[in-house]
Amino acid sequence: MEDIVARTEERAYVSQDALLKRLKRTEGQVRGIGKMIEGNRDCVSIVIQLKRSRFIDAVVDIEAGWMKELQERYLRAFKGSIGFEVCLSSEVETYSDETLELYFGDVSRADREGRNLAGEQYTRLFQQIGYGSIDETEEEA
């Protein structure tokens, strides 16, 4: 339980860079919605876009937190991920509404359970290439 509380407190701290990235993303979303309104798009389309933005932001925030945890714990095995949030956001934006909603549900559930899905994926990946764990990979890096 203490681990979950510590992780939550860590994520509560948001750097200035992270806030500026989020603000710029939000500005772009607001401009897009403004264009939808100017183009007389129906309200349903606008509401869908707002909902998608919320899901995308939440998924990116959670997954970026997972990657940060891995980078801080395994300094040699995870040497930075320049542009991770931008790449993930761009990828998630291509998902259908249904896929995005399901993905958001899976990611947020795992986060509530204190799981780090990025860590789980990398563990499987390192095991497939012959390592027993991320720890073992870190020792040999």
Which residue in the block uniquely carries the two structure tokens 């497939």?
128
Q: What are phi and psi of 39, to 5 degrees?
A: -85, 10
pLDDT at 48: 61
Mean pLDDT: which of 5-9, 36-40, 84-88, 102-106 is highest? 102-106
| CB proximity list for 131: less than 8 A, separation 6 or greater | 137, 140
32: CB partners within 8 A, 6+ apart: 49
HSE, side-chain direction, 13 A CA sphere, residue 92: 23
pLDDT at 46: 64
Q: Which range is least confidently modeled, 12-26, 52-66, 102-116? A: 12-26
Under a CB-based contact definition with an 8 Å cutoff, are residues 125 and 76 in contact?
Answer: no
**CB–CB of 37/2 below 8 Å?**
no
